[in-house]
Structures are given as structure tokens and as C-alpha cells.
Amino acid sequence: MKAASKRKSTNTCRIYKKRKRVIPKKKEKGIIKPIKEMKSRGQRRKRRGWRKSSKEYYRKKKEVLKVLENVQTPPTSPEVRSPPQQQVARQLGRKKVRKDRSKAYRDIFRLQVALKREETLKKCIRKDTKGIVYITTDQKKKMLLLKVMTSEKQPCCS
């Protein structure tokens, strides 16, 4: 019985594939015309055919649904005691909380990494600037004057 249904399904699949190949070719040749290009009598005939086929399709669909409704299924198994709804809701809430916490943990970790990076950068800058003595503007002026005066006293080598 399964083999027959399998054959039938593969056969219909073959038919649809063939239609997909053949119909565009027929349209190109002009054998199948679009409804706009048909005369009024042909249009009426075509639309009548569409109505008939759609009625048939929906009738078959209804029959299948009726058959499925009337199928006798075995009785349901006795109910297993499930946890009260409040506990289930609480568990779902816990999942949400865990998601929020995990996001917070990720953010904290990211910030800690950034902080470490900044601290190491700060240490490097401290090491680089350890020997530098900051001079005020008055001291700069005095140093410039001294340089000028010392340069005047030294004889020119050239």
C-alpha cells in the first residue's frame, strides 16, 4: 500500500515538473494565450473552467478535513501532575533574569578589560614622563636669556 502511494506522489511530482517545462514553451509559441488576448467567448469558457476547478479543489479539501475529524484516536493518557502555573511562570521569569544577568556580566567583563587597558596605558605614560620636569613660563624666559647670553660669549668656530 505504501509503494502505491509513493508511486502516486512521485508520478504527480513528475507531472508538475513536466508542466513547469512545457507551459512556458507553449506560451512562447502562442499555443497558450493570456486571458487578455482571448476573445470574450474564450474568456468566459476559461473563467468557467477556473470556477469549476476551484470548487472541486475546495470540495476535496473539505472532505479530507471531515475524514480527519472523524478519525477515532485512542483515549488520552491520564494527566500527570504538572507543577502549578505559578511555578512555571517563575521558572520562565528565572530564564529572563538569567539572560539579563548574563548581559550584565558581559558588560562588566568588557568594562574591566577596558579599565585594564587604560591602567596599563597610564603606567606607560608615567614611566615615560618620570624624568621630565615641568618648567613654568618664567623659568623658560630665564633659560632662553641664558642661552642667548652664553651663545654670544662663545667664539664662532667657523
Tens of pLDDT, residue by residue over 85-101, are 655 556 666 666 677 78
Within-domain flag for 78:
no
Same domain, 98 and 58: no
pLDDT band at 135 (very low <50, low <70, confident <90, very high): low
* 64 and 56 Cβ atoms separated by less than 8 Å: no
Same domain, 24 and 61: yes
Tell me the residue range of the domain where 121 lies: 87-131
8-state DSSP, 130: S
Same domain, 56 and 115: no
Same domain, 64 and 93: no
State the average pLDDT over residues 123-139.
71
Q: How would you class 123 by CB atoms within 10 Å of its CB: exposed for 0-12, middle for 13-18, buried for 19 or more?
A: exposed
Q: pTM score, two decimals?
A: 0.35
Task: Work out the percent of the chain whose per-residue pLDDT is above 70.
Answer: 68
Within-domain flag for 113:
yes
Q: Higher-confidence residue: 5 or 116?
A: 116
Same domain, 91 and 63: no
Within-domain flag for 101:
yes
C-alpha 83/C-alpha 97 separation (Å) is 20
